[in-house]
Amino acid sequence: MRQTAIFIISFFFCIQSFAGQVKTISIDSISTFYNEFKTESEKNIELWNKDLYGPILLIDPKTREIFANESDANDVLKSDGSVYTGVLPDKINIANTAVDWNGKRWAMIMLPLPKNKYSRIGLLAHESFHRIQPSLGFELNNVENNHLDQKEGRIYLRLELEALKKAVQSVSKKELQEHLMNAVTFRKYRHSIYDGSKGSENLLELNEGMAEFTGMIVSGRNKTQTAAFLVEGISDFFKNATFVRSFAYHTVPVYGYLLYNKDKSWNKKITEKTDLTDYFSKAFNIKISSDLKSMVIRLTDHYNGSIIIEEETKREEKNKKLLAEYKSKFIDQPHLEIKFEKMNVSFDPRNIVPIEDKGTVYPNIRVTDQWGILTVENGALMSSNWDKISISNPIKIEERKISGDGWILELTERYSIEKNEANANFMLVKRKIFRRNKINHNP
């Protein structure tokens, strides 16, 4: 049985808004960005007892041009003053992530960088954490939390975050403790509704949550600026189409920052096995009644509960129509199914749409594999176990380039697509190579 190797390039595909970002690229500005990040990294070495500053690739997504802070092992990058430049191969997806390339492990960040210095350094630190993450003992886990696209999952996540906003803005220890306790109450109640949700949320929080906490600390903001950053971040997060892959950027940074004010070493005490809900509850001495439902009913209205419930009820009705459209497009109607062999993928985690047990629709996604490159701008259905992807049937078929409604498939040699006349679906096929056996005749 052939095994499918899945290498997921990124789940943090340009989270920051492009508004207010640096629009021009110059060697001098790139050099400045590297120097300011290096300075802040040196100041914060004790955060992980490691220097975050290391190999970094800044990529222009339009031209694939690279601006690196050091050379690569294969000398693809050429020195241009204090910066190394080159062009990223098409087979490598561009995303904010960590990637092994040409003999080194790099932090990769898309240009333009944020114009705000704190946000810029925070982003560089976030992705640099992913670069050193394996050496810290944390696996790179990016799991989907599809329950956070359900009505109640979204309601109780929003209530938790509303409580965390108030915790950050608290003016007394008593007030802080009250809001933290209420936040954990909503959190635990959400976990009680959905089986396995505690574990799946925890995996993403250990990965992206810890990376974002790292970026926030290294950014250099003072306490007032940090509190404003956290509160504004949560408010902006609520505007996202979905929460399933991006919630961790806002939960762990708040809990982590508030705990960091008490214990500067808390992050170095956790491992990939740590249950963060239990860890934060114990660290903040939070004890919650076993009657979670009664507590939730009592607390909801203190955190805009009525408005949240009304908004999520309306969203659920609207979402039902969207799900029906996607089911029709990628399941019921004829479509093209592509199986993975050795896949890399990058996508925007803010707008994905889970479809029950059928998988998840990614409106924007780029996949590279042994069969070629698939670029999607109008939706594709990823299977639940990440072994295949479905797109609408092709409209134009050329020898190596195939296109459809919002997608382009560029195939390598030996691969083509064929139509199944029985159901009108298309599928990717690989031609076999027949080798003529050499036969020796002994007299």
Angstrom distance (rounded) from CA 124 to CA 333: 43
Task: Give first-to-last CA distance, the chain, whole Å.
Answer: 41
Assess whether pLDDT exceeds 70 at residue 155: yes
State whether 272 and 157 are in the same domain: yes
State whether 351 and 264 are in the same domain: no
pLDDT at 6: 40
In a domain, 440, yes or no: no
In a domain, 311, yes or no: no
State whether 417 and 272 are in the same domain: no
State whether 169 and 124 are in the same domain: no
pLDDT at 9: 44
In a domain, 308, yes or no: no
In a domain, 439, yes or no: no
State whether 250 and 299 are in the same domain: yes
User: Which domain-ending residue is among 261, 284, 303?
Assistant: 303
List all residues 6 or more positions away from 272 whose beta carbon is below 8 Å from its beta carbon. Answer: 137, 138, 139, 206
State whether 150 and 132 are in the same domain: no
| Residues of the domain holding 151 | 146-303
In a domain, 231, yes or no: yes
Assess whether pLDDT exceeds 60 at residue 441: no
Give the pLDDT mean for 350-358. Answer: 89
pLDDT at 223: 96
Whole-number Cα distances in Å, 414 to 339, 371, 372, 411 = 15, 8, 10, 8
pLDDT at 17: 38
pLDDT at 143: 77
In a domain, 266, yes or no: yes
Angstrom distance (rounded) from CA 363 to CA 16: 18
In a domain, 325, yes or no: no
* Secondary structure class of 442 (helix, strand, coil): coil
Q: For all residues of the chain together, what is the average pLDDT?
A: 91
User: Which domain-ending residue is among 115, 136, 157?
Assistant: 136
State whether 102 and 162 are in the same domain: no
Given its phi and psi angles, is residue 354 left (phi above 0), alpha (psi -120 to 50 degrees) or beta? beta
Q: How many domains does the chain have?
A: 3
Give the pLDDT mean for 267-274. Answer: 96
State whether 169 and 299 are in the same domain: yes
The percent of residues in the chain predicted with pLDDT above 70, rounded, is 92
State whether 269 and 209 are in the same domain: yes
User: Which domain-ending residue is among 109, 136, 163?
Assistant: 136
Q: To 10 degrees, what angle do helices 151-168 and 173-193 make? A: 170
Assess whether pLDDT exceeds 90 at residue 290: no
Residue 432: pLDDT band (50, 70, 90) is confident
State whether 270 and 339 are in the same domain: no
In a domain, 314, yes or no: no
> What single-letter DSSP state applies at residue 269?
G
State whether 94 and 180 are in the same domain: no
Assess whether pLDDT exceeds 70 at residue 148: yes
Assess whether pLDDT exceeds 70 at residue 2: no
Assess whether pLDDT exceeds 90 at residue 250: yes
Residue 24: pLDDT band (50, 70, 90) is low
State whether 299 and 152 are in the same domain: yes
Whole-number Cα distances in Å, 171 to 7, 176, 182, 227, 236 = 46, 7, 17, 12, 23
Give the global pTM.
0.90
Residue 431: pLDDT band (50, 70, 90) is confident
Do β-strands 56-60 and 335-339 pair in parallel, antiparallel, or remain unpaired?
A: unpaired
